[in-house]
């Protein structure tokens, strides 16, 4: 997956601002490409356990999708943070992806240690294995 430095920095800033809660957002890029050209932060709508889970509201997805169409972009994936946890998908992340329409979708996980140090990772979910595979992350 390719992402401009400015967009990755925006994700890092969002993750630090939201600490100690998980933050989330949407990755936008050209159709069929593993390339991010813009990120859109959205509110974490999780109410029961926002320190360890996130939820993107359907109305936020629809709004971002409509805006992206005007830019000839589509949703290529999602990002969320893991406050004080590793930058890799959790079992909860895997279960949620397996229950949804995530085949081939990019999932970025940003580890945030102490609200300061950030570490990115990228993954692609595959229905065939019901799990994530590491996706090389190229920062431009």
Q: Model pTM? A: 0.95
- Predicted pLDDT of residue 137: 97
- Whether 135 contacts 79, CB under 8 Å: no
Residues that are catalytic? 22
- Predicted pLDDT of residue 32: 86
Give the contacts of 129 (CB within 8 A, at least 6 positions apart).
none
Given pLDDT bands bounded at 50, 70 and 90, which one contains residue 37? very high
Domain boundaries, the chain: 2-139
CATH 3.40.30.10 for domain 2-139: no
Given pLDDT bands bounded at 50, 70 and 90, which one contains residue 62? very high
Given pLDDT bands bounded at 50, 70 and 90, which one contains residue 101? confident
| Nearest Cα to Cα of residue 118 among 3, 8, 6, 28 | 8
């Amino acid at each position: 997956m390719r992402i401009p430095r400015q967009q990755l920095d925006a994700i890092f800033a969002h993750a630090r601002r939201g600490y100690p809660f998980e933050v989330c957002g949407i990755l936008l890029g050209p159709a069929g490409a593993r390339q991010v050209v813009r990120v859109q932060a959205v509110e974490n709508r999780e109410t029961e356990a926002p320190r360890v889970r996130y939820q993107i509201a359907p109305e936020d997805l629809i709004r971002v999708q409509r805006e992206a169409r005007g830019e000839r972009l589509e949703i290529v994936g999602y990002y969320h943070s893991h406050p004080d946890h590793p930058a890799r998908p959790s079992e909860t992340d895997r279960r949620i992806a397996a229950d949804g329409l995530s085949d081939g979708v990019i999932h970025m996980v940003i580890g945030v240690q102490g609200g300061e140090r950030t570490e990115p990772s990228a993954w692609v979910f595959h229905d065939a294995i019901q799990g994530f595979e590491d996706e090389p992350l190229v920062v431009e």
